[in-house]
Amino acid sequence: MSGRVAVRPGVGLVLHELRVLVRFRLRTGGHDPRQAVLVALAVFVLLGVVGPLVVAALAPRSSTAPLVTLSPSLWFAFLLLAVGTSLASGGGRELMPRGAGAVFPVSAATDQAGALLLTPLNLAWSVQATLVVTVTAYTAGTGARAVAALLAAWVWVACATTLAQLVGWSAELVRTFRHGTAALLGLLVLVVVALALLVEALDLGTLLAALPTLPLYVAAVAGPPVTFVAVQAGLLGVTALALALTVPVVERLQRRPAGRQARAETRSLTRPRMPAGPLAAAVATDVRSVLRSSPLRRSLLLVLLVPLVLALLLPLPWTAVVVLPALVASGTALLHGVNVVALDGAGAVWRESLPHDPDTTLVGRLLALATLCGAAATVLVLLAAVRAGTPTPSEAVAAVAAVLVATTQVVSRCARWSVRHPYPAELRHGRDAPAPPVAMAGYAVRLTAATTLAALLLTAAASTGGVLLVLAVASALVSPGLLRLRRAFREHSDHRTRARVVAAVTGG
């Protein structure tokens, strides 16, 4: 049972607990709390307010009509993204690790507010939210109308995020029951099948007209003042209601033991037959560690499911298929690869004491990561190719090269980060992450930027029709990754580095 105390505090106590937790987490990471808050506010104002208004005022108005048609679907896509992210992370990331609740118990409202506070650190959420508010402000026009539309877009972002948090926390509570996971999986399958049937039965115009976000968007960009105020007041009311309903769900979840995790860790298992040889055994151990971990298994399913559904429902051109491996490999690596040494946990001391070459364990972890990233990207490309049509030789080579390049880039960067910046992480409970939230945000930006840029370069090379050019670009992109791997293993071969990594992973 969790050590946290269920308290029904006022707003003042929640703000006090949040302030203490934020200062503690920032000081633990070596940051000045006041400076970090000022930087966060500056980034929000620049990207979320100034940027959209500048685009609305200075961008040409020639492309407004297509964006007006697609904007309601963009609003709806943001809601789906927020719900999916919340389901994968069990409500949200933790401002305070679960185990720390025994010495510093916080209320359910603070736990929920902390998850909301950390939401912008999710790269997918931040990019999508910025896109929603920028497109909305641009399509509304200039002047006061753009400002009003910007405000309405942020109200929608807040409402969708709080609703998604309610869904995520509720799903996490359902998972604590014996058949809760099976029920959620069945519900997910029904939703995906229903969406597939709708896409096949209705044309695009009918689907866009049936979106529930259409009247909300129209009221934001073109509605009369009375309608605008009424809609925004309604969204704020829904937001407040979602916040109020989430608190008792989180409170109930705090009082319930992690039943599913406890059952998984106490049931009798038949010991699997280990492969012959230390390296094969290391790879098998790490792959099984990932598949046994509830948050890793759940998040891996989401990383594969979302692009897979899009690829099957919507025929993608081969230029988009080449980009898919970058997104899937980056998402898979962010689950645990950025701190791949955390898979060992308290068993790191035992594994490092085994009588084999010191690099065998690291090689096993990285091969397990490469297997997961490469397999996920390969499956996605093959399924997307079913509806993408017959590729040209350069496009086919670019797709294969994209899998190899993305896997190499991801594994090499994760090897360096794991050796240089290890963190203790249990990766057992629904909201566990391999690194602190700020570090995860930085990893997400660097991984996504590097792999996406490489995919775009391969796409540009494939568009010329030259197979040799694609191979040359792929070789140029793989080479830096191999050099990073070499440097990471050189650092790991030092016994002092390995001792530091083991001490960090085990919390010593």
- The per-residue pLDDT for range 214-228, each reduced to its tens digit, is 888 888 888 888 998
For residue 220, CA distances in Å to 99, 128, 147, 215 come to 44, 18, 10, 9
- The per-residue pLDDT for range 150-173, each reduced to its tens digit, is 999 999 999 999 999 999 888 888
- The per-residue pLDDT for range 432-452, each reduced to its tens digit, is 778 887 788 888 888 888 998
Given pLDDT bands bounded at 50, 70 and 90, which one contains residue 6? very low
Mean pLDDT, the chain, rounded, equals: 81
- The per-residue pLDDT for range 290-329, each reduced to its tens digit, is 877 777 777 777 777 767 766 666 667 788 888 888 888 8
Check whether 4 has a pLDDT greater than 60: no
Closest to 373 in 3D by CA, of 427, 419, 413, 425: 413
Check whether 8 has a pLDDT greater than 70: no
H-assigned helices in 118-143: 123-140
Q: What is the CA radius of gyration of the chain?
A: 24
Q: Residues with Cβ < 8 Å from 311, sequence gap 6 or more? A: 321, 324, 380, 383, 384, 387
Check whether 508 has a pLDDT greater than 60: no
Check whether 235 has a pLDDT greater than 70: yes
* Whether the Cβ atoms of residue 283 and residue 364 lie closer than 8 Å to each other: yes
State the pLDDT at residue 262. 61
Closest to 160 in 3D by CA, of 259, 236, 227, 211: 236
Check whether 2 has a pLDDT greater than 60: no
Tokens encoding 104: 């510093």
Residue whose tokens read 């309405």: 152
Residue whose tokens read 């620049």: 46
Given pLDDT bands bounded at 50, 70 and 90, which one contains residue 1? very low
Check whether 45 has a pLDDT greater than 80: yes
Closest to 261 in 3D by CA, of 286, 294, 301: 294
Q: Rounded to 5 degrees, what angle do the CA atoms 382, 205, 186 make?
A: 50
Q: d(Cα 212, Cα 216) in Å, to the nearest integer?
A: 8
* Whether the Cβ atoms of residue 76 and residue 213 lie closer than 8 Å to each other: yes
Amino acid at 332: T
In this predicted structure, which of 23-27, 117-121, 280-284, 422-426 has the lowest mean pLDDT?
A: 23-27
Q: d(Cα 218, Cα 156) in Å, to the nearest integer?
A: 13
Q: Residues with Cβ < 8 Å from 157, sequence gap 6 or more? A: 78, 129, 132, 133
* Whether the Cβ atoms of residue 282 and residue 363 lie closer than 8 Å to each other: yes
* Whether the Cβ atoms of residue 334 and residue 447 lie closer than 8 Å to each other: yes
Q: d(Cα 399, Cα 2) in Å, to the nearest integer?
A: 47
- Which sequence spans correspond to the domains of the chain? 19-258, 279-505
Given pLDDT bands bounded at 50, 70 and 90, which one contains residue 178? confident
Q: d(Cα 80, Cα 198) in Å, to the nearest integer?
A: 16
Provide the residue count of the chain: 508
Q: d(Cα 386, Cα 258) in Å, to the nearest integer?
A: 41
- State mean pLDDT over 459-472: 88
Amino acid at 281: A
Given pLDDT bands bounded at 50, 70 and 90, which one contains residue 5? very low
Given pLDDT bands bounded at 50, 70 and 90, which one contains residue 3? very low
State the pLDDT at residue 408. 94
Of residues 304 and 480, more confidence is placed in: 480
In this predicted structure, which of 76-80, 102-106, 136-140, 359-363 has the lowest mean pLDDT?
A: 102-106
H-assigned helices in 353-392: 358-388
